Amino acid sequence: MPGRRRSIAIRRILGLLLALVCATAAAAVTVSPAAAGNQGPGFVDPSTNVTLYQSLSARWWQWAFSTPDTPGGPFHNHQVDCAVNQPLHHVLFLAGPFNVIETVERTCAHAVQRGTWILVPVINTECSNRETDPRFFGATPEQRKACVQKELFNPADLSASVDGHSFPVSQSRFSVVSRDFPFRSVSGNPAIAGVVSGHSTSRGVWLLLNPLPIGVHTITFAGSYPNAGFSLSVTYRLTVA
C-alpha cells in the first residue's frame, strides 16, 4: 500500500534524525574548516551519515514532486512561505531553481522554529521512469542510477555558506546518490510535467546544517553542471525564533 510505505519511510527518517541528535549531543559537532576558529555553524558529516543523506535527498524530491509551484510558495523569489508542505517537523527543506539558469533571492516569511535542521540542496538532479527527455530517463533502478552518474551531471563551481562561514561542499563526500524511491506528482509542481506516479533516483550535492541559533541568518549556495549548460545561485534570509 503506497500510503503505508510512505508512513514507514517517514518514521525511518525521523528515527535516523533522532539517532543523529543523540549522537551530536554526545560528541563534538563537525564544523567547516573556515568556521573552526570562531565556532561558526556546524553541519552533519555525510561521510559518516550516508544513509541519512540518502533518505533525506529522496524525501526532498518527493516533496518537490508533491508541492505545486504557486505565487508566494517555496519555489518562488523574494518573500516566500518556506514552510509549505514541509514533510518533516524538525527539518526545513530549502530549494534551488528548477530547469532554468537563475539567481534566486528568498526571504522566509515566517520564523523557523528553534531546533530545526536545514537541508541545503547545493545542486542536484534526478532520473525517473516518467521523464520524456531521454537525458533524464531510466526504466529500471539500475538505469536510473547510471543516468544520474553520467558526466552530464558532474557538478562544478560549488559553494555554500551561512552568515559568511563557508563549507567544503566541493569535497566528494558531499555528493550523494539516493536510494531509488517512488513518487507521485501534483499539478503545477516544478519538477515534472503533469500528474504522474513513478520511480526516481537522484544525485546531488547536499548539506545538512545543524540547528542555527536564534536570530537572522543568511544562507547562500551555488553550483553548475557545465556539461549541461546549467548553473544556479541562491540566497536565503531567514529568522530562527
Mean pLDDT of 11-20: 48
Whether the predicted pLDDT of 1 surpasses 50? no
Helices (H) and strands (E) in the chain, counts: 3, 11
- Indicate the SS3 state at residue 80: strand
Degrees (nearest 5) of the Cα angle 94, 207, 235?
45
How many residues are there in the chain?
A: 241
Give the per-residue pLDDT at 100: 86
Helical axes 2-26 vs 50-65, angle rounded to 10°: 140
Rounded to two decimals, what is the model's pTM?
0.85
* Buried residues in 163-174 as b, exposed as e (16+ CB within 10 A): eebebebbeeeb
Give the per-residue pLDDT at 101: 84
Whether the predicted pLDDT of 27 surpasses 90? no
Question: With contact defined as beta carbons under 8 Å apart, do 209 and 165 qualify?
Answer: no
Nearest to 123 by CA among 193, 202, 64: 202
Q: CA–CA distance from 234 to each of 36, 100, 146, 161 (Å)?
A: 24, 13, 28, 11
Task: Tell me the sheet residues that pair with 182.
Answer: 199
Between CA 191 and CA 68 the distance in angstroms is 9
High-pLDDT (> 90) share of the chain, %: 81
Pairing of strands 215-225, 78-80: unpaired
C-alpha cell at 183: 513518487
Contacts of 43 (CB under 8 A, 6+ apart): 30, 31, 32, 167, 207, 208, 209, 210
Q: What digits encode the pLDDT tens for the residues 31-86?
A: 344 334 446 799 999 999 999 999 999 999 999 999 999 999 999 999 999 999 99
Whether the predicted pLDDT of 23 surpasses 60? no
Nearest to 122 by CA among 43, 53, 58, 175: 175
C-alpha cell at 113: 522554529
Domain definitions of the chain by residue range: 2-240
High-pLDDT (> 70) share of the chain, %: 83
Average pLDDT, the chain: 88
Question: With contact defined as beta carbons under 8 Å apart, do 177 and 51 qualify?
Answer: no
Whether the predicted pLDDT of 185 surpasses 90? yes
